[in-house]
């Protein structure tokens, strides 16, 4: 097995208004606290190549992913390697609006198209850079529970505090890349923060890189529901404490991590889901969101199953609630995984993915009360479609 890594800064300039995504309208960036990144991890064996990309963004729609792949097709090296690509957002709530919902008011799209076009080019370049620097590697993986950092505001009894970890090592045992995966919104700073920041994720990566001397890539897990930092003051100090705590616990766990076989695979299954959310339809009509429905009123998306030895990762096109995330990880382990994780917001961002039994669309979606998540979901069908697709991908799987 060989691995490669590259990263590039995707922080927007502040020479014009930058609308910060994730909370209310008209939250304009005033300063840059820390840079946002696109980070790419390439993995290759004799027959397969794929690249996992982590973006410090609120979300990245499937057509945007396709645009990046089209840009890559002009490269001869890309066409020779023919890698499979997964682009996932960390879901920071303090980066630019890349979806459309957080402009100056609820009728005006917040996306800067010039910025969106520029980062698509940067993502394409960072993917090619990761593929141009492939080195022989081995991998070890593990997981550890880190309680007390995240809480579930929708259903406090259901909390996933598992940190999924992997480290790619050189032939002489040096760390090459460290992989962290945790299910919690990067929103420590909350709604009044005017600073561009990757939130606790940035502190986590900085600490891991300081201790290992190697780059760190982070992916958010099943963070729906609302899995949010358990903090009081919503301060940078709390974000730093959370990031460093995750880094320390993760690196400690990796010292006892289990070496994995050097085989890997990536399987994809497309799904089509009826969009029923009236708020999304209003957003389409106002041209806040791109209308991605097909002629049947469905959104077409995908799920992916990644296997790197005994590390199995389910890549999900939105924000899976922890009840479903825990269920899916249990299914991965039952099917043969040694270590299981979920990469959320992968190759799409379709909002919250709720268990059918918990889905109750409010009578007044503008005052949703305890059912806010339903108003930010494409509909009741998305969860069973996603879970069924993974069940099909897992059929016949064996531990390798």
pLDDT value of position 284: 96
Give the mean model confidence (pLDDT) for residues 5-9.
98
Say yes or no to pLDDT of 219 above 90: yes
Strand order in the sheet with 175-182: 216-220, 175-182, 162-169, 138-145, 258-259
Task: Please give the pLDDT value at position 47.
Answer: 78
pLDDT recorded at residue 398: 53
Q: In what order do the strands lie in the sheet with 2-9?
A: 84-89, 49-55, 37-44, 2-9, 135-136
pLDDT at 13 over 90: yes
* Cα–Cα–Cα angle for 16, 17, 18, rounded to 5 degrees: 115
Structure tokens at 43: 């993995």
240 contacts 203 by C-beta, under 8 angstroms: yes
Please say if the pLDDT value at position 260 is more than 80: no
Question: Mean pLDDT, to the nearest integer, of 90-104?
Answer: 98
DSSP label of 359: -
What backbone torsions phi and psi does residue 155 show, to the nearest 5 degrees? -140, 90
Alpha carbons 217 and 49: distance in angstroms, whole number = 18
Provide the pLDDT for residue 399.
46
Query: How many beta carbons lie within 10 A of that of residue 327, not counting itself?
Result: 15
Share of the chain above pLDDT 70, in %: 99
pLDDT at 225: 86
Residue 3: both structure tokens together: 């691995």
For residue 140, name the pLDDT band (cuts at 50, 70, 90): very high
Q: Is 132 left (phi over 0), alpha (psi -120 to 50) or beta?
A: alpha
Q: What are phi and psi of 341, to 5 degrees?
A: -145, 170
pLDDT higher at 70 or 48: 70
Separation between Cα atoms, residue 124 and residue 367, nearest integer Å:
41
Query: 304, 273, 263, 272: which is closest to 392 by C-alpha?
Result: 304
Dig out the tokens for 78 from the structure: 């890309």
Q: Is the pLDDT of residue 189 over 80?
A: yes
DSSP strands (E only) in the chain:
2-9, 31-32, 37-44, 49-55, 84-89, 135-136, 138-145, 150-152, 162-169, 175-182, 195-196, 216-220, 227-229, 258-259, 264-274, 298-308, 311-315, 319-320, 339-343, 352-353
CA distance 54 to 78: 19
pLDDT digits (tens, 9 = 90+) for 350-400: 999 999 999 999 999 999 999 999 999 999 999 999 999 999 999 967 544
Reported confidence tier of residue 263, pLDDT bands at 50, 70, 90: confident
Domain positions in the chain are 266-394
- In this predicted model, what pLDDT tens digit does every residue of 285-322 receive, in sequence order? 999 999 999 999 999 999 999 999 999 999 999 999 99
* Measured CA distances, 11 to 39, 56, 82, 97, 366 (Å): 13, 9, 29, 12, 32
Residue 58 clears pLDDT 60, i.e. is over it:
yes
Collapsed DSSP state (helix, strand, coil) of residue 133: coil
Q: How far is Cα of residue 271 from the mean position of the Cα atoms in its chain?
A: 19
Q: What is the mean pLDDT of residues 1-8?
A: 96
Whether 376 contacts 362, CB under 8 Å: no
Alpha helices in the chain (DSSP H): 62-72, 76-81, 113-131, 200-212, 236-254, 278-285, 322-335, 382-394
pLDDT value, residue 8: 98
pLDDT > 90 in the chain, percent: 93
């Amino acid at each position: 097995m060989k691995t490669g890594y590259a990263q590039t800064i995707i922080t927007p300039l502040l020479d014009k208004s930058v609308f910060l995504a994730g909370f209310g309208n008209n939250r304009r960036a005033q300063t840059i606290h820390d840079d946002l990144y696109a980070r790419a991890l390439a993995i290759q064996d004799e027959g397969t190549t794929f690249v996992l990309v982590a973006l410090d963004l609120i979300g990245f729609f499937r057509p945007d992913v396709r645009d990046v792949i089209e840009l890559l097709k002009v490269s001869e090296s890309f066409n020779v390697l023919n890698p499979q690509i997964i682009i996932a957002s960390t879901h920071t709530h303090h980066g630019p609006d890349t979806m459309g919902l957080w402009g100056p008011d609820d009728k005006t799209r917040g996306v800067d198209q010039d910025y969106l076009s520029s980062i698509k080019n940067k993502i394409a370049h960072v993917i090619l850079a990761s593929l141009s620097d492939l080195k022989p590697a081995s991998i070890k993986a593990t997981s550890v529970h880190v309680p007390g950092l995240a809480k579930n505001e929708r259903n406090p009894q259901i909390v996933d505090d598992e940190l999924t970890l992997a480290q790619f090592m050189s032939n002489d045992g040096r760390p090459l890349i460290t992989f962290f995966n945790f299910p919690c919104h990067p929103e420590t700073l909350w709604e009044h923060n005017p600073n561009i920041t990757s939130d606790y994720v940035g502190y986590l990566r900085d600490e891991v890189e300081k201790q290992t001397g190697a780059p760190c890539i982070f992916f958010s897990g099943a963070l729906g529901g609302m899995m949010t930092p358990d903090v009081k003051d919503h301060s940078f100090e709390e974000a730093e404490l959370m990031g460093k705590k995750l880094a320390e616990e993760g690196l400690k766990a990796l010292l006892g991590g289990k070496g994995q076989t050097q085989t890997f695979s990536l399987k994809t299954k497309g799904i089509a889901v009826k969009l029923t959310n009236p708020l999304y339809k209003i957003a389409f009509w106002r041209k806040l969101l791109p209308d991605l429905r097909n002629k049947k009123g469905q959104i077409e998306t995908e799920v992916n199953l990644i296997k790197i030895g005994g590390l199995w990762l389910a890549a999900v096109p939105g924000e899976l609630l922890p009840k479903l995330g825990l269920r899916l990880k249990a299914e991965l382990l039952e099917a043969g995984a040694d270590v299981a994780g979920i990469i959320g917001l992968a190759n799409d961002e379709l909002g919250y993915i709720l268990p059918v039994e918990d889905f109750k669309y409010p009578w007044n979606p503008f005052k949703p009360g305890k059912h806010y998540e339903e108003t930010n979901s494409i509909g009741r069908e998305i969860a069973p479609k996603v879970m069924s697709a993974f069940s099909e991908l897992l059929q016949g799987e064996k531990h390798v």
